[in-house]
Chain A
Amino acid sequence: MKKPKEKDAGAGENRGSCAAARARAPLRRSTDKLDKGPRPRINPREVGLSIGFKSNYTNSNPGAGTSASPHPPPRPSAPLPLDEGRLGRLLEPWISDEDERAFVVRCILREGPHHHRGASYALLALLGEAVERLAPSGPQDGGLTVAVPLRLPPHAAPRGQEAEFPLRMATGALERLAPRGSREFDALVGSLLDGPPHHALANAAMVCLVDELLRRLEARRG
């Protein structure tokens, strides 16, 4: 029982040190009101420093600046074994540009709720492993794909490719579930790409991997 108590006390002290520093640092000094009245307009770039202002300021609080250790940000208790490099390599066939790939990987593994990051990574990594166990099905035929849109408001959206994520979702595999062009097909695509970007991108990446997995399985079957 003693150990946790000591730990709690330590955490409290840490919080206290910051609060104490804030308390020692006055929020506003009486001389701040000087800023509200009219003051000479100078352009620091043109005249350099002008030190000739009249000021009532005297430094009445020289000890106001006190050292304080910033708090570490809150961290989830259970660390996830997320390998951004591994996911990046998996996505390379669909996103050739390294920086664009890093953007998509960040959205999937560093944005959204903690459990989504873990779930998306587990599913994508395992799908990737399944794909890698099968021989390539031959050169990519540039099958039909659909854009994953950024969630921008309508007035900001129409800017071509910059309003889309750099990952496009392969749609060939979805034809196994509904005929292309049907309302059902479109509804499936919409369901996969709806929602927050981390979710939509993970879905799109999974469908790309499943599409490739099915191609390789069919090629193996001959």
Chain B
Amino acid sequence: MTGLPGGVEQAFRVAAAELGMYGAARLVLRELCAQGGAPLVDEARASLGGSYPVLDFVASRWAAGEDRRPIEVDPLLGALRGVTRLLVVGLEAEHLDALAPRLGGVEVGLLTESMGLETDWRRVLANYGGTLRPASLAELSLWAGSRSALLTFVYGVNGQAVNVPPAWLRVLGPDVRTQYRELIGWDILGAPMEVYPRWLVEASTEGFSRLLSSRAP
């Protein structure tokens, strides 16, 4: 356990606060892989995986190259057909980077509720050049409508259970469910995590109007 650079966990947390757990995991592992190859990735997984389950998952797929498939946006765009307003709950920069440029004509909001990390939302939003607008929990109704959609990131599907950002459960009250045409889960992992999914919360697949994968089969 000596090969890991000092401060790697803190660096991961800073990155995760502004890129999301998945994007930060890929960034950290890419850097570690460049420094020490697969053994350092394995060491990072052994050292940090228990505390950061998404990093653990990404590291487990790293060696096999399974995590390098491109993000598939088309099924999601199909689900958003006719939608004029989209509110995103959760933060995964790689996925938003792929999605945002293809949402012409759709007003997009990002719920500024963090997952327990210190997120500088101004900086996060600045990356999208005004394409994404900040939204608070108090503004849920302003984004609602019969052509509105809610989207969250799903970190693996396990039977009827999924793991989602905690804010999703605060958003998805019974009233809100009927104020949005679509309640979309976008699965970014494609399989359940192997360690206990702390940072995230469990929800039911039945709570979504659509559950889509972000990876090509």
Which residues of A are at the interface with B, using a C-beta cutoff of 8 A? 21-22, 25, 29, 34-35, 39, 41-45, 48-55, 57, 59, 61-73, 97, 99-100, 102-103, 106-107, 110-112, 150-153, 155-156, 159, 161-166, 196-198
Contacts and interface: CB of A to CB of B under 8 A. Distances in A.
B216 interface: no
Contacts of B182: 99, 103
B19 A44 contact: yes
Nearest to A31: B9
B195 A153 contact: no
B103 to A, nearest CB: 16
Interface stretch (B66-74, B129-137, B138-146): B138-146
Contact of A99 (B13, B123, B160, B181): B181
11 contacts: A44-B27, A49-B11, A55-B7, A61-B50, A66-B196, A103-B146, A103-B181, A152-B179, A155-B142, A162-B148, A164-B146
A34 B10 contact: yes
Interface in B190-215: 192, 194-196, 198, 202, 204, 206, 209
Given A51-B5, A52-B5, A70 B47 contact: no
B90 interface: no
B6 A54 contact: yes
Which bracket fits the contact residues of B?
Answer: 35 or more
Interface of B: 1, 5-11, 13-15, 18-19, 24, 27-28, 30-31, 46-51, 53, 56, 81-82, 84-85, 93, 117-118, 120, 123, 127, 141-142, 144-148, 158-161, 163, 174-175, 177-179, 181-182, 192, 194-196, 198, 202, 204, 206, 209
Interface of chain B: mostly helix, strand, loop or mixed: mixed
CB-based closest 8 A-B pairs: A53-B7, A65-B195, A65-B50, A162-B145, A70-B161, A64-B50, A156-B141, A73-B204
A72 B160 contact: yes
A70 B195 CA distance: 11
Contact of A51 (B8, B93, B159): B8
A39 B10 contact: yes
A63 B50 contact: yes
